[in-house]
Each structure stands twice: as structure tokens, then as C-alpha cells.
Amino acid sequence: EYMGVTKQKFDNLYCCRESILDGLKRTTDMMFGGKQVVVCGYGEVGKGCCAALKAMGSIVYVTEIDPICALQACMDGFRLVKLNEVIRQVDIVITCTGNKNVVTREHLDRMKNGCIVCNMGHSNTEIDVASLRTPELTWERVRSQVDHVIWPDGKRIVLLAEGRL
């Protein structure tokens, strides 16, 4: 039981606060200042991700279904949204909910060109990656753990680690 609490309160919050920036930097080389990011989930992992991105100057939105966590996000200064409200404008989508299909094919279709999509949650089914394996979409491996998924109109999203943690 002790290790469970330590993992949840320290690993998930503090380690994710550091690893989200490291992972995004290593895979995308992007600057975070002014980027619009939606973090799906405001548990310990989501809190760490949001804190790190806010500190780097990103505009951070949060989706959350638990009312207590949602209130915490508001009290911490984050704008609570529905994913559909911001999906067309955000530069980065990060999932950390533990739920299935948080990001659906419909969301992926509506993302803007160049949107980065990654998962920080413990499940590899938060992003519906299977729906992207269709004949009309082209997959291009850019480097290790980085794929561009290209739509027929030329739009591409940047998928990290094929949606895995």
C-alpha cells in the first residue's frame, strides 16, 4: 500500500512534470511558449503535465469528467473545456485519463495540420490509433517513436509512440 501511494503522489505528479517536457523536446524539437495544449485528464499525471507546460509558457486547456478534479483544474488556473471545443485550434493533445478512446477518429480528423498527439496515461487505448490504420491514410516514420499520419488532403498529425505511454 505504501508504494502505491508513493507512486501515485510522487511518480505520477513530479516525474510526469519533468518527463512530458523531455519527451516532447526529444521527439519534436518544439518550443512550448505560446503553444495551445489540451491535457485530457487532471489526475496526478495530468496535474504534472499541466504544471510543466504552463511554466514553459503554453496555453493549457484541461478536459476532465470528475467534478473534484475539474474544480482543482479551475482553481489551479486552467480553462476547463470539452475536447470538441478546442480540437481544431490546439497544437498538442496529451491524454492521461486511463480511459479508452478519449481521442477518437472524429477528433483526429478535425485536428489542425501538424498537431502533436501523445499519451501519458497507463493505457495504450486512450488514442484510437487503430482507426488510423486505413488505406486512405499514409503513415510515415519520421524517426524512432515519431510517425506522421497523412490525410489525402496533405494534412498530417504527429503521433508519438503510436499512442503508447
For residue 49, give the CATH number of its domain. 3.40.50.720
Parent domain of 100: 5-163
pLDDT for 9: 72
Q: Residue 11, class by beta-carbon neighbours within 10 Å (0-12 exposed, 13-18 middle, 19+ buried)?
A: middle
Q: Which tens digits make up the pLDDT trace of 87-101?
A: 999 999 999 999 999
Q: Are 45 and 53 in contact (CB under 8 A)?
A: no
The pLDDT of residue 17 is 87
| Consecutive H or E run containing 65 | none
By percentage, how much of the chain surpasses pLDDT 70? 98
Cβ-based neighbour number of residue 147 at 10 Å: 21
Q: How confident is the model at residue 14 (pLDDT cuts 50, 70, 90)?
A: confident
C-alpha cell at 68: 473534484
Residue 69 CA to residue 135 CA, distance in Å, equals 39
| Buried/exposed 93-108: b ≥16 CB within 10 Å, e otherwise | bbbbbeeeebbebebb
d(CA 163, CA 165): 7
Please, are residues 76 and 48 in contact by the beta-carbon 8 Å criterion?
A: no
pLDDT band at 15; cut points 50, 70, 90: confident
Number of domains in the chain: 1
**The pLDDT value given to residue 61:** 99
At residue 126, the pLDDT reads 98
Q: Report pTM.
A: 0.94
